[in-house]
Amino acid sequence: MAGARAAIRYAKAVLSLASDKNTTEVVNNDMKLITKTFAESTDLKSMLQSPVVSSSIKKNVLLEVFNDSNEITKNLIDTLITNKRLPLLNEVALKYNLLFDELTGTQIAQVTTAVPLTDELRVKVLAKVKELTGKDVELKSIVDESILGGFILRVGDIQYNASIANKLDKLKREFTLN
């Protein structure tokens, strides 16, 4: 829990600094790159968690991997190394993305479908979610064949399940109760 609180504090500090320098969007893109890189690279995560690898090597690796990053992002890496909090980097990046989305009024809508969304359907879903929430929405599409058909839409803490699997499950429960 202490790590999560620390990550939020670092993310708020970075957002404040980026706001002062009018680079919130650029830093947000850096943070998205960091979270994407961590999601794709188990070696990078292992290296950061390893007590055997020295801080200077970790710093050099991170600055090499994220060499095109904004100065604020590079300073965050330096600060986390200095404070021996480098394993929090991914969590700080995730929290920054959430804080940035809050600041700009953007929400993440997660759509789970049995087949990939077409561009036409993606536009319709975005329009409907904007109509329902009144906010700009970033759409995250997940393909899950187990829902058989239909879709599951989640925006914030609201979920609308219109999947075939859900309907079949409701029918099954209805028949077992009678």
Q: Which CATH number characterizes residue 54's domain?
A: 1.10.520.20
71 and 34 share a domain?
Answer: yes
72 and 128 share a domain?
Answer: no
**Considering 51, 70, 102, which residue would you say is the last residue of a domain?**
102
φ, ψ (nearest 5 deg) of residue 158: -100, 130
- Dihedral of CA 11/17/22/23: which sign? negative
Kindly report the number of other CB atoms within 10 A of residue 19's CB atom: 13
90 and 123 share a domain?
Answer: no
Torsion angle defined by CA atoms of residues 34, 39, 41 and 45, in that order, rounded to the nearest 10 degrees: 80
**Considering 87, 102, 117, which residue would you say is the last residue of a domain?**
102
73 and 156 share a domain?
Answer: no
76 and 29 share a domain?
Answer: yes
61 and 140 share a domain?
Answer: no
Exposed / middle / buried, residue 85 (Cβ in 10 Å: 0-12, 13-18, 19+) = middle
Predicted confidence at residue 2, as pLDDT, reads 62
Predicted confidence at residue 1, as pLDDT, reads 52
16 and 50 share a domain?
Answer: yes
Predicted confidence at residue 83, as pLDDT, reads 92
- The residue segments making up the domain with residue 21 are 2-102
**If you search the block for the tokens 């036409």, which residue do you land on?**
120
147 and 126 share a domain?
Answer: yes
28 and 78 share a domain?
Answer: yes
Exposed / middle / buried, residue 27 (Cβ in 10 Å: 0-12, 13-18, 19+) = buried
Predicted confidence at residue 80, as pLDDT, reads 92
Low-confidence stretches of the chain (pLDDT beneath 50): none
Question: How many domains is the chain built from?
Answer: 2
71 and 119 share a domain?
Answer: no
82 and 161 share a domain?
Answer: no
